[in-house]
Each structure stands twice: as structure tokens, then as C-alpha cells.
């Protein structure tokens, strides 16, 4: 079961994200992010802790089910007269473990539900999630051996646009809700049918391929809160 838990980021990307969280912690400590608490209904240090927990939790996957194995087509390097070619090869794939990522799905879902209930944003929240999910689904790309990948910066920008377009007052919570849940729905849930053909040992909802988009959405929501809240 140890293969279930892994860091879905390269060492360099993880270092950048950790430095970003540390920078937010410093800003929160000196009071420059105090107005974020008004926009999200949380203390700045609480928001920073949630982002840090998301980063640490990105390495933890909770198994949900095992998808049955099947015969899939992979690629094998074959040399012909010294020239390498990729030849299709049929192999028996033992199956894929369907899991949910703690940092990229569990924590964002819980925080999104809190914001939906606190501000009663059910209708606007559904619209924001639908907007982001629609465009993210068009951009989602199956990656053999990995899962479903989405562009890193597109979901946060879409979420920021949706939040501002729907409500200037609640732009920050709507950006977080729309971005987090929109990525999970558009990239992962709507592509569950493709998971068996990808050949990945673990298909993690909110994990590799989508974690960075979900994480950055939270950071962009904070920046958005600082721009639109008084």
C-alpha cells in the first residue's frame, strides 16, 4: 500500500509552493493579510495553516476502490537496424486503485462546503463550479501512467474570473469554491471512465496532475480577497 502515498510535485515545484506558504505566513504574522479574514471568514493564520496542510496532505491518498484489470496497449522500444521505434504491445494490466488525495481533494472540499454554508452561496457556487468545470474538462489531458493533467495556471485564473463576474462582495470565496470543486469535477470526476485505459497504478482524485491547479486556486483566492475587500 506504500505506493498510494507519494508527493505529486517535483522537488523544485514543492520547494516553490512551500516558500509561497512561508511567505504568506510571514505576511499574516505582521498583519498585512488581516482583511483576508473578512473576505473568507477565517483568520489569516488559519488560511495559511490550511494551505500548508494541503501541501503536506498532497502526499497522502485514501483508497476508495480498485478498478478491475484489463488488457491494454502500451509502447515498447524496438530497434530495427539500429533505429529505435515505438511499437504497440498488448499487456495485462492488474488494475488501478482509485483514491482521493487529502491535500488536493479532501481539504478543499471541506473548506468549500464551509464557505458555501457560511455565506449561503449555493446557487452562485454551483454556477462558479460549472463554469470552471466546463473549461477545465476541455483542457484536461489523460497522461499514461499518471492520470488526468490540467494546465497549472488556467484553473486559478478561470476561478478568479468567475468569482469576480458573479459577485464582487463574495469574489474570494466563490473563486476558491469554483476553482477547487471545478477542477475536481472537470478534470477528475468527468474523466473517471478513462482511468482504466491510462495504466496508472493509482488514480488519485485531486492528486498528481490536478493538485497544483487546486492548490494555486487557494492562493489566487487570497490575492483576490486582498484586491476586492475593503
Q: What is the pLDDT along the chain (230 residues), one digit of tens a residue?
A: 545 565 555 666 666 666 776 666 665 554 545 666 677 788 777 877 887 888 888 888 999 988 776 555 555 555 544 555 444 455 555 667 788 999 999 999 999 999 999 999 999 999 999 999 999 999 988 877 667 778 878 888 889 889 989 998 898 899 899 999 999 999 989 988 776 666 667 778 888 767 777 888 877 776 776 677 55
Grid coordinates given for 40:
473568507
User: Residue 200: in which H helix or E strand, if any?
Assistant: none
What distance in Å separates the CA atoms of residue 14 and residue 186, rounded to the nearest whole number? 24
Domain boundaries, the chain: 2-68+96-228
Query: What pTM, to 2 d.p., does this model score?
Result: 0.76
- 221 close to 173: Cβ distance less than 8 angstroms: yes
At 67, give phi and psi (nearest 5°): -75, 140
Amino acid at each position: 500500500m506504500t505506493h498510494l502515498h507519494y508527493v505529486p510535485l517535483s522537488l523544485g515545484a514543492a520547494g516553490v509552493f512551500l516558500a509561497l506558504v512561508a511567505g504568506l505566513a510571514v505576511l499574516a504574522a505582521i498583519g498585512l493579510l488581516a482583511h483576508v479574514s473578512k473576505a473568507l471568514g477565517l483568520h489569516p493564520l488559519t488560511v495559511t495553516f490550511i494551505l500548508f496542510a494541503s501541501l503536506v496532505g498532497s502526499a497522502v491518498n485514501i483508497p476508495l476502490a480498485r478498478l478491475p484489470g484489463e488488457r491494454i496497449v502500451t509502447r515498447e522500444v524496438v530497434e530495427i537496424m539500429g533505429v529505435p521505434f515505438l511499437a504497440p504491445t498488448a499487456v495485462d494490466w492488474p488494475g488501478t486503485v482509485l483514491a482521493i488525495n487529502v491535500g488536493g481533494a479532501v481539504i478543499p472540499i471541506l473548506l468549500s462546503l464551509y464557505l458555501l454554508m457560511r455565506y449561503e452561496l449555493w446557487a452562485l457556487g454551483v454556477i462558479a463550479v460549472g463554469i470552471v468545470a466546463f473549461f477545465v474538462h476541455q483542457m484536461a489531458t489523460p497522461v499514461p501512467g499518471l492520470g488526468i493533467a490540467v494546465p497549472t495556471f488556467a484553473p486559478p485564473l478561470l476561478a478568479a474570473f468567475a468569482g469576480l463576474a458573479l459577485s464582487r462582495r463574495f469574489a474570494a470565496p466563490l473563486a476558491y469554491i469554483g476553482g477547487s470543486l471545478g477542477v475536481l469535477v472537470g478534470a477528475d470526476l468527468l474523466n473517471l471512465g478513462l482511468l482504466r485505459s491510462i495504466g496508472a497504478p493509482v488514480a488519485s482524485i485531486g492528486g498528481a496532475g490536478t493538485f497544483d491547479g487546486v492548490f494555486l486556486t487557494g492562493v489566487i483566492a487570497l490575492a483576490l480577497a486582498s484586491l476586492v475587500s475593503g
